[in-house]
A and B are shown apart, each in its own frame.
Chain A
Amino acid sequence: MSNEDIEILKRALQRQKIARKQAEKILEEKSRELYSLTQELKAANEKLEDLVDVKKTELQGVFDNLVDAYVLMDISGNVMKMNHAAIKLFGYDIVEERLNVVKLIYKEDYQYAMASFQKLITNGSFTDYKARVYTKHNGVRTVHINASIIKDKNEKMIGAQGIVRDITEQLKQQQIFEEQKAQLSVIVENSSLGIALTQFGKIVQTNKAFQNLLEYNKEELLQLEVKDISIKEEYAESANHMEKLNDGLVDNFSVNKRYVRKNGSEFWAKTNVAAVRNVDGGVKYQVALIEDITEQLKFEKQREALVKDLEKSNKELNDYAHIVSHDLKSPLRSMNALITWLKEDYADVLDSGANDSLNMLLNKVDKMDHLIDGILKYSSIGQSEESKHNIKLQEVVSDIIDVIHIPDHIKVTITSKLPKIKGDRFRLQQLFQNLIGNAVKYNNKKNGEVNISCKEDGNFWSFSIQDNGPGIPKKYHNKIFQIFQTLDSTIESTGIGLSIVKKIIDLYDGNIWVESQENIGTTFYFTLKKQ
């Protein structure tokens, strides 16, 4: 072996040494790593075991506290496990007694139950099973069940589990709700008011009356906005109201506006709009109730026209009374003057016959004047109805007795205190003055008596004016209240006095009637409504 060979060998040996050392070093590191890895794994394993334990406890907790009933059964239907909710629901506890689910199936639902069970086996699960079950204490309940098959490692079916929810109450509530909804919709559908639900100007629901009013069908209306069935000029006003509603300033409003039908024709409707609000107060919908008031407006217009007409004819009547007053009274005054002059200027040549005739002529003129006054008074009753004050009748009637001419042989007495009533002083005075005046004027007895009294009669005051005069024959009892009807032919008897009385009593919703016996006396009874 040459030196050179030895050197080569030496170097190779050296390299081998180094390589081994390196390998040892690597081995050492690896085994250290392995060790720590083992340690870590061990720790992880422990941790995992802990975790599994935790999960298991958690699961048990969930299982126990599950609101829904949980039932685990074997393939024969024997219940293996049930949670608190299940015990509570069915009333059975498998710790105390055995339970097979077949026992729970409601008789009439048996077929359905079996079919569902078949499905469970075939498909591995079923959902939304709804049926009735018997319970131990709570009678028949309706339940909702989702179920699935449980298999072992070898795909062998070992049982089934189900989540059961008692939906009896829910169904009942739903039924009530459905019924109420149906009732409500009957009302809405049969309402004679048009009803529409709108949302931001869009029509989202309408009832039959609404559709009929607008002559659109339901679907057509859903495509429309309130704007489309309104008159352009009027929409601004409604929109203004709507804005206030949306801003929460008002909860409802009412407008009279026109609507446009499908064929373009219009109608007037009273529209009530109310807000349906969210919990936060925002407007969810607007409910609009509309009522066709075209007819009503027509009637109102007619009525307005009538009232106007009436006002006009009233005014004309008033003017007429005025004209009558002036134009008829002027010639009478002239006649009176001329006749008086005749008498004065020709006193020397007129014999008693001529004088009598002239006096009779004067009397007739006088009577004519009274008549005109009467008509004027009669026609002016009812013109100043707004002037109602508290009138002390005791005072009014006392004044009348003081003022009118009462001959010495007649005594006028107020026999019971007269009330205070609300009314027009002048009218009430006219009323009493006419009746008392008549009683005094026509009294033919040596000791004349006129008694005025009053009593309360429910909502009315009942008055009587009684005299011991000549009496009024029965056949005239109704006639005397008619205008121009008089039983007397003296100058002052125009036949208007009692018709004025009647007209005034009519204004106070009262009544007047007379009781009389010839030669014994007359009593006028009348009532005035308390105001």
Chain B
Amino acid sequence: MALTFLLIDDDEIERLKFARVLQKNNYSHKLIEAKNGEEAIQYLENAEELPNLVFLDLNMPKMNGIEFLKNLKSNSRLKHIPSIILSTSNNHNDLKESYEIGIAGYIVKPLKYEDYVQKIKCLIDYWAVNELINK
């Protein structure tokens, strides 16, 4: 089944990387991109169809990942969407705060592209076998 992902990252190359993983591995999942939390919220509020998963960077301009997460979790229409952090660091405070607010996963972006591909494939395959809410 084709899923819909919302990827929120201010770094264009990161967005390209994610898209490339989907494309190169012939995944049929749909990818929606947003440059920051604000843009993502705007999209979600107006979207007729909600994404199945959110992939989220933490350090972003305007509205950062944590702020977006809080926003999402306080919105009854959106709070069910599993969100997975794609972060640069495994900083303890970030981890703790994210899990406390409510996340479905926390991935540290590796340096090497091959490692990245590996991780994202794992992640997508995992979620593909899960039952998700479609709204």
Contacts and interface: CB of A to CB of B under 8 A. Distances in A.
Contact of A340 (B11, B14, B114): B114
A337 B88 contact: no
Interface residues of B, number: 17
B111 A330 contact: no
Interface in A312-346: 322, 325-326, 329-330, 332-334, 336-338, 340-341
A333 B109 contact: yes
A322 B111 contact: no
B135 interface: no
Given A330-B11, A341-B20, A336 B111 contact: yes
B29 interface: no
A333 B20 CA distance: 15
A330 B58 CA distance: 12
A365 interface: yes
Contacts of A337: 13, 16-17, 113, 116
A292 interface: no
A322 B91 contact: yes
A329 B11 CA distance: 12
B59 interface: yes
B113 A340 contact: yes
A41 B53 CA distance: 140
Contact of B111 (A326, A332, A338): A332
Interface string B3-18: 0000000010110110
B88 A336 contact: no
A291 interface: no
Contacts of A341: 20, 113
A166 interface: no
Choose among A332, A336, A366 the residue with the greatest number of B CB atoms under 10 Å from its CB. A336
B28 interface: no
B89 interface: yes
Nearest to B87: A326
Contacts of B16: 337
Nearest to B59: A326
Interface in B94-124: 109-114, 116
Given A326-B59, A326-B88, A329-B88, A334 B111 contact: no
A341 B59 CA distance: 25
Interface string A341-369: 10000000000000000000000011001
A365 B111 contact: yes
B13 A369 contact: no
Choose among B20, B88, B113, B116 the residue with the greatest number of A CB atoms under 10 Å from its CB. B113
A488 to B, nearest CB: 21
Contacts of A330: 11, 14, 88
Interface string B23-43: 000000000000000000000
Contact of B14 (A332, A334, A365, A366): A334
Nearest to A339: B113
A53 B116 CA distance: 132
A47 B88 CA distance: 126
Contacts of B13: 333-334, 337-338
A326 B89 contact: yes
Nearest to B91: A322
Nearest to A335: B13
Contacts of A340: 112-114
Contacts of A366: 111-112
A322 B59 CA distance: 11
A464 B110 CA distance: 35
Interface in A9-35: none
A365 B111 CA distance: 9
A329 B113 contact: no
Contacts of A332: 111
A47 B25 CA distance: 147
B86 to A, nearest CB: 11
27 contacts: A322-B89, A322-B91, A325-B89, A326-B88, A330-B11, A330-B14, A330-B88, A333-B13, A333-B88, A333-B109, A333-B110, A333-B111, A333-B116, A334-B13, A334-B14, A336-B112, A336-B113, A337-B13, A337-B17, A337-B116, A338-B13, A340-B112, A340-B113, A340-B114, A341-B20, A341-B113, A366-B111
Given A325-B91, A333-B13, 16 more contacts: A325-B89, A326-B59, A326-B89, A329-B88, A329-B111, A332-B111, A333-B109, A333-B113, A334-B14, A336-B112, A337-B16, A337-B116, A340-B113, A366-B111, A366-B112, A369-B111
Q: 9 smallest A-B Cβ distances: which pairs?
A: A334-B13, A340-B113, A337-B113, A326-B88, A369-B111, A325-B89, A337-B17, A326-B59, A336-B113
Interface of A: 322, 325-326, 329-330, 332-334, 336-338, 340-341, 365-366, 369
